[in-house]
Chains A and B, each alone.
Chain A
Amino acid sequence: MLSVNNLVTSYGLIKALKGVSLEAKEGAVTCILGPNGAGKTTLMFTLAGILAPDSGTVSLLEHNLTGLGAPKVLRQGLALVPENRLVFADMSVHENLLAGAFTQSRAMAAQVNDDIDKMYARFPILKARHDQPAGTLSGGEQQMLALARALMSRPSILLMDEPSVGLSPLIVDEIFAIIKQLNKDGMSILLVEQNATKALQVADYFYLLDQGKVAFSGTPDQLKNDDVIKRAYLGGG
């Protein structure tokens, strides 16, 4: 569904992505592992249209997304929950969700309200906090808000950049349960995650990104049996 072909992205003279190719299948959870500085966030920002690639292509359901810019990429159905959540801290939870629906036209107001109710049903804690500034939410709550905000655009594929980072184990479990449920409800997901053990519980396919290149790709079974990965990511040999 999402196919990435030979993507190169640089910051000035530094190449952060050196020709990345990958595929995210419809209805699947695809996971990208990789050490700090591997280029995972750079990849996510390039896919979402925040960064423009030097070369390579991104396409979603046969539509070319390369170089469209973030607002247009979103309209094509690709939404990103960014690293560190980036909620609008001084706006209420409700307004954050409304901002997530920015691409929906005025004529869709009734549907947007419906969607907000659905988000409140999926994330009851957001309903309880709907009037509160997003900046006063806990890390886990902010992660849920960022996720709900991204869903408000009604994407066909959801990208998530390290949703579990900085959260307590209990909250991480909750976040992964939500990811699993979302996927069960039909959402295609491309997930960046450093916690390989957790990722193994939800993902259908893995890519390992290292120094701007895909170093490994395979199914969960292939991942579990790869010696190098076992040592580096699954704690043990």
Chain B
Amino acid sequence: MNFDHIDIIQSTIDGVLFGSIYALIGLGFTLIFGAMHKLNMAYAASGIAGAYTGLMSLTILGMPVLMAFIIGPVTAGLIGLLLYFACFRFMPRGNQLAPLMASIGALFFIDELIIHETSGSPMSFPAVLPDAYFFLGEFGIRGDLLMVMGFSFILMAIVMLLLYRTKLGLGTRATSQQPVAALLCGIPTHRTNGTTFVLAGVLGGFAGCLLAASVGVLSPLLVLPLTIKGLIVTVIGGLGSIRGAIIAGFAVGAAEGVFLLVRGVNERDIYVFLLLFLFLVFRPNGLFGTTINRD
């Protein structure tokens, strides 16, 4: 194989742009983990499911493409709330395994539901900005991926504003750091947790739609890889670290782009998973996680 530094930089650019989807999914995983210190394994699946409902609003109801980006996230937010009630809200407090297993169950439930409804075959998703392509010196930039990145930055900014500039955000952060003290401050912690699931769900729905728009199809085959990439991003960023999840999302995207160039599409994910093992062994708290243990 033959490639020079230009190819590598080009692959990194593509990877970073695509990585904004991972950053969104990682951010969602992290928000939920931050709120309850539990992983919602069905999270990425809910995002893809949202994207499917968005797509169906186009194919069945004939709505304009933009509506997919409204209906998808809204549905994904509702699924997030459902998952909260089904898998987290009423689980025994000290039991870590119950919500984990329940959400793995929900992951397969959503996956099977999608396979059943679509007979397992991929559906094409309308491309947004299919012909836009820019040049930056020697490097090319796909217009749709640039849009994906722009969209992601706007969503991240909104999440940050909500978390750090509103009363809801104050309550959410307080609940995440010290749930008992939050209750003692009069914060309705069950409600703030529910809100976090909805917010994360909406992000996931956007990520699902953006993913579908940039690869041009929706398929049940996207569910598992997106779940695993989201988990990898969350771990590499440091469980619970918002900044870490965002940076790790772009970093994993970039690494994936380079692995794709160097080792091809069949081997790409092997190396991404290897990266996860390296982090788990040598830096288990990720890039920015302070500590995994908590009282």
Contacts and interface: CB of A to CB of B under 8 A. Distances in A.
Task: Tell me the dominant secondary structure on chain B's binding face.
Answer: helix
B174 A74 contact: no
Most buried by A among B173, B177, B181: B181
A75 B185 contact: no
B129 interface: no
B167 interface: yes
Interface string A86-118: 111111000100111011001000000000000
Interface string A13-29: 00000000000000000
Contacts of A86: 178, 180-181, 184
A82 B184 contact: yes
Most buried by A among B183, B185, B187: B185
Most buried by A among B183, B186, B187, B188: B186
B173 A102 contact: no
B173 A87 contact: no
B178 A153 contact: no
Contact of B183 (A71, A88, A89, A149): A71
A70 B183 CA distance: 6
A4 interface: no
B181 A82 contact: yes
A48 interface: yes
For chain A, which range describes its interface: under 10, 10 to 19, 20 to 34, or 35 or more residues? 20 to 34
Interface in B219-243: none
Interface residues of B, number: 16
A74 B184 contact: yes
A26 to B, nearest CB: 22
Contact of B173 (A50, A79, A88, A100): A88
B288 to A, nearest CB: 12
Given A98-B170, A99-B170, A99-B171, A71 B187 contact: yes
A146 B178 CA distance: 12
A67 to B, nearest CB: 14
A80 B183 CA distance: 10
A98 B185 CA distance: 10
Given A95-B170, A102-B167, A80 B177 contact: no
B182 interface: yes
A88 B186 contact: no
A153 B181 contact: no
A125 to B, nearest CB: 20
A90 B177 contact: yes
Interface string B155-190: 000000000000100110110011011111111100
Given A95-B170, A99-B171, A70 B184 contact: yes
B173 A153 contact: no
Contacts of A103: 185-186
Contact of B185 (A69, A74, A90, A106): A74
A100 B170 CA distance: 11
A38 B41 CA distance: 41
A199 interface: no
Interface in A121-176: 146, 149-150, 153
B186 A74 contact: yes
10 contacts: A50-B183, A74-B185, A74-B186, A86-B178, A86-B180, A88-B173, A88-B177, A102-B187, A103-B185, A146-B181
Interface of B: 167, 170-171, 173-174, 177-178, 180-188
Interface of A: 48-50, 69-71, 74-75, 79-80, 82, 86-91, 95, 98-100, 102-103, 106, 146, 149-150, 153
List 10 A-B pairs, minimum CB-CB distance, nearest first: A103-B186, A86-B181, A70-B183, A74-B186, A71-B186, A88-B177, A99-B174, A102-B186, A102-B185, A99-B185
